[in-house]
């Protein structure tokens, strides 16, 4: 026994040692780049003659080894149209950024571009670019010596001409001290007006003081911004002030409003009898009127000039009773609408939502945690009928829907022939209604993903799923699928104690 234990230990130690010693051998490109970087002067002198395929590997090695003079020289001879610097690391090291910008300065100062250099775009954004992976990692991917990344183009609606070099930068205020980095790049671009066009297409604002955001917004071209993500707590004065800047975002296409909490004056104290006197009631009515006027000014200033294609609202409690004002400001038909955690919206809000004329060409409609209990299904049915030719994604999860509401939309649902993604989970539906859904969606040939609720018959009085009953229900649904003669992947979702369990219906 002792001998066997010793043998097992020796064998395990041997395999562990082998695993530690076996490494993926470096590629020839990597070895060549490492050899060049042993002498910076030689590496810089050789840039004029190096094949383009070696540049990404050499750049990443110089980046990680902090050889800033090499980075500066490589920027001047970059043989691709785009240098996706931001996808290498976030936040970018200051010295690396300065080295690249210094190289770009020397490039811009030349009347005639170097023969090798094709650089047109410096991309400082944090994007999932496959540029570095393609050239430095997976050798099986196809490569183009002229530039694997497409050249970016500014919006055709912009009045300013396309500058010789574009610099792309995300305005992201979700990170600490981010505005210092942003201001450095912005001021650098301003000092080179006519040679550099700074393009900020995305603006993210979380819970940061507005004055820190404002000093950046005052010095960038807001007509470049195409995507805005806003998540903050502020008073109406600040919100109206921000609306002024939004009014200048002429090319905004995607708007995400998340967990916005609007601060208002504290409510008046109640008297001993639980009633307010007449003066307090009049004061409250006056404040409500002022609040209504403030919201009207906010929406008219914020959205009237915009042409959105995507609107995403998460926990839009501040829109309660005002959703019609938001929708009324839309100038063009939306393609995507997502509203989550929207229990605070009233039936009047939902009616205005479903009847909005600019939702008649939707490709994606997602409602999650909407309060459709006791809500007439007719407005939703009419909307689905209007978007049937274009709708590709439909999500109606956790909307407190019941059998009668779902049955009312079944005929029009079967006409949504472009639908590829359909979820209606976490609603209180019977087995009979789930079966009807399967039959009405059977003719939708584009449908790839279907998520239905576990039928109510499967739950105990405590809200847990009875596994024996669920097995019978899954078998019954399998029978329906076989009867329809179509192979489909059907998923059933159950929510219990804050987590969701998903079950597949066997084919």
Q: Is the pLDDT of residue 3 over 50?
A: no
Q: Provide the pLDDT for residue 150.
A: 38
Question: What is the pLDDT confidence band of residue 10, given thresholds at 50, 70 and 90?
Answer: very low
> What pLDDT does 1 receive?
41
Instruction: Please give the pLDDT value at position 277.
Output: 59
Q: Which residue has the tokens 């305005």?
A: 171
Report pLDDT for 472. Answer: 96
CA dist 146 and 80 (Å) reads 6
Give 49 or 23, the one with higher predicted confidence.
Answer: 49
As beta bridge partners, residue 197 has: 166
pLDDT tens digit string along 431-445? Answer: 999 999 999 999 999
pLDDT exceeds 60 at position 467: yes
Identify the pLDDT of residue 248.
Answer: 87
Rounded to the nearest 5 degrees, what angle is found at the Cα of 15, between the Cα atoms of 9 and 17?
Answer: 100
In percent, the amount of the chain with pLDDT more than 90 equals: 49
Q: Which residue has the higher pLDDT, 345 or 238?
A: 345
Whether pLDDT at 35 is above 90: no
- When pLDDT is cut at 50, 70 and 90, the band that residue 291 belongs to is low
Predicted confidence (pLDDT) per residue in 198-216, tens digit:
999 999 988 777 888 888 9
What pLDDT is stored for residue 54 in this prediction? 87
Range of weakest confidence among 216-220, 364-368, 454-458 = 216-220
Instruction: For residue 303, count other CB atoms closer than 10 A to its CB.
Output: 23
Is 317 within 8 Å of 341 (Cβ atoms)?
Answer: no
What is the band of 283 on the pLDDT scale with cuts at 50, 70, 90? low
Instruction: Give the residue, 330 or 14, on which the prediction is more confident.
Output: 330
Confidence band of 21 (pLDDT split at 50, 70, 90): very low
Closest CA to 297 of 322, 273, 330: 322
pLDDT at 264 over 70: no
Give the model's confidence band at 284: pLDDT under 50 very low, under 70 low, under 90 confident, else very high.
low
pLDDT at 342: 86
The pLDDT of residue 306 is 66
pLDDT of residue 207: 72
Distance set, CA 263 to CA 39, 173, 325, 471 (Å): 61, 21, 19, 50
The residue ranking higher by pLDDT, 213 or 232, is 213
Question: For strand 227-230 and strand 254-258, is the pairing parallel, antiparallel, or unpaired?
Answer: parallel
Return contacts of 127-136, CB within 8 angstroms, 24+ apart.
Answer: 127/84, 127/86, 127/87, 128/87, 129/84, 129/87, 131/56, 131/82, 131/84, 131/87, 132/56, 132/60, 132/84, 132/87, 132/88, 135/53, 135/55, 135/56, 135/57, 136/29, 136/30, 136/56, 136/57, 136/60
For the packed helices 347-355 and 378-387, what is the interaxial angle rounded to 10 degrees?
20
Can you read off the two tokens belonging to residue 488? Answer: 């489909």
- pTM for this predicted structure: 0.81
- Say if residue 194's pLDDT is above 60: yes
């Amino acid at each position: 026994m002792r001998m066997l234990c010793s043998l097992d230990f020796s064998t395990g130690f041997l395999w562990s040692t082998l695993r530690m010693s076996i490494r993926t051998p470096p590629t020839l490109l990597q070895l060549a780049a490492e050899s060049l970087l042993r002498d910076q002067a030689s590496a810089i002198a050789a840039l004029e003659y190096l094949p383009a395929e070696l540049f990404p590997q050499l750049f990443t090695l110089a980046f990680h080894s902090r050889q800033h003079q090499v980075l500066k020289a490589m920027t001047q001879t970059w043989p691709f149209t785009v240098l996706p610097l931001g996808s290498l690391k976030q936040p970018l090291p200051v010295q690396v950024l300065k080295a690249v910008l210094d190289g770009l300065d020397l490039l811009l100062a030349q009347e005639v571009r170097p023969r090798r250099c094709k650089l047109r775009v410096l991309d400082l954004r944090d994007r999932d670019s496959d540029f570095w992976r393609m050239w430095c990692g997976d050798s099986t991917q196809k490569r183009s010596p002229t530039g694997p990344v497409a050249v970016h183009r500014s919006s055709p609606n912009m009045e300013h001409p396309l500058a010789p070099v574009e610099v792309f930068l995300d305005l992201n205020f979700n990170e600490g001290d981010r505005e210092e980095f942003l201001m450095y790049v912005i001021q650098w671009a301003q000092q080179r007006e006519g040679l550099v066009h700074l393009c900020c297409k995305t603006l993210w604002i979380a819970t940061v003081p507005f004055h820190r955001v404002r000093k950046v917004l005052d010095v960038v071209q807001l007509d470049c911004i195409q995507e805005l993500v806003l998540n903050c707590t502020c008073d109406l004065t600040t919100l109206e002030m921000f609306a002024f800047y939004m009014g200048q975002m002429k090319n905004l296409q995607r708007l995400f409003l998340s967990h916005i909490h609007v601060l208002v004056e504290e409510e008046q104290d109640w008297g001993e009898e639980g009633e307010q006197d007449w003066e307090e009631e009049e004061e409250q009515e006056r404040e409500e009127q002022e609040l209504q006027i403030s919201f009207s000014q906010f929406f008219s200033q914020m959205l009237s000039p915009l042409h959105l294609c995507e609107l995403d609202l998460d926990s839009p409690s501040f829109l309660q009773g005002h959703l019609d004002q938001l929708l009324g400001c839309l100038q063009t038909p939306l393609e995507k609408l997502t509203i989550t955690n929207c229990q605070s919206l009233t039936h009047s809000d939902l009616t205005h939502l479903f009847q909005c004329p600019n939702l008649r060409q939707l490709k994606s409609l997602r409602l999650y945690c909407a309060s459709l209990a006791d809500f007439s299904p007719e407005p939703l049915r009419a909307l689905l009928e209007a978007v049937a030719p274009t709708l590709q994604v439909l999500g109606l999860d956790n909307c407190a829907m019941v059998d009668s509401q779902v049955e009312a939309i079944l005929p029009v649902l079967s006409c949504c022939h472009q639908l590829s993604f359909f979820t209606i989970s976490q609603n209180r539906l019977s087995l009979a209604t789930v079966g009807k859904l399967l039959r009405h969606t059977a003719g939708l040939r584009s449908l790839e993903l279907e998520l239905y609720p576990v039928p109510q018959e499967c739950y105990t009085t405590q809200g847990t799923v009875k596994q024996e009953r669920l097995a019978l229900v899954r078998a019954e649904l399998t029978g329906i699928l076989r009867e329809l003669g179509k192979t489909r992947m059907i998923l059933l979702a159950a929510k219990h104690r804050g987590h969701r369990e998903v079950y597949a219906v066997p084919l």
